[in-house]
Amino acid sequence: MTDLASLLLIFLTALLGGLLLQSLAILRVRARTQPQQTPFLGGHPPQKHAWSRYHVRYYPMTLLFIAFEMEMMFMYPWAVVFVREGGHAMAEMGMFLGILSVGVAYAWREGALRWQ
């Protein structure tokens, strides 16, 4: 009985999927005007290429943000483990924060934290 029910479920799923695809083909918008085809919100053509919008000075800040997000992502599970492990977990988190601190010190020295 379960084989018959499985086959029926597969058949109904395929049938429903086919019906949905056919209904989308029937109901789709066929004619689009020129302002609707442009990739810009206001209907005007873009003046710059999409990859050239952001200055390179934003990327080091992004990398620092990701580093701090990684730190916070590991802090909660560490706090749970710290209750059981004690000093060993404290030493591991100290090493992890030390490595992140070296990265922040390097970014600070290179001037990545200064806005111009």
Which residues, other chains included, contact 102 with Cβ-Cβ below 8 Å and sequence gap of 6+?
none
| pLDDT tens sequence across 14-43 | 999 999 999 988 887 776 676 666 665 555
CA distances for 111 relative to 50, 60, 82, 97, angstroms: 27, 10, 35, 21
Instruction: Give the pLDDT confidence score for residue 88 in this predicted structure.
Output: 85
pTM: 0.42
In percent, how much of the chain has pLDDT > 90? 15
Structure tokens at 90: 């404290």
Instruction: Give the pLDDT confidence score for residue 35 in this predicted structure.
Output: 62
| pLDDT tens sequence across 71-95 | 778 787 888 888 888 888 888 888 9
CA-angle at 37, arms to 35 and 39, nearest 5°:
95
pLDDT at 102 over 80: yes
Per the CB < 8 A criterion, the answer to whether 89 and 81 are in contact is: yes
Per the CB < 8 A criterion, the answer to whether 108 and 114 are in contact is: no
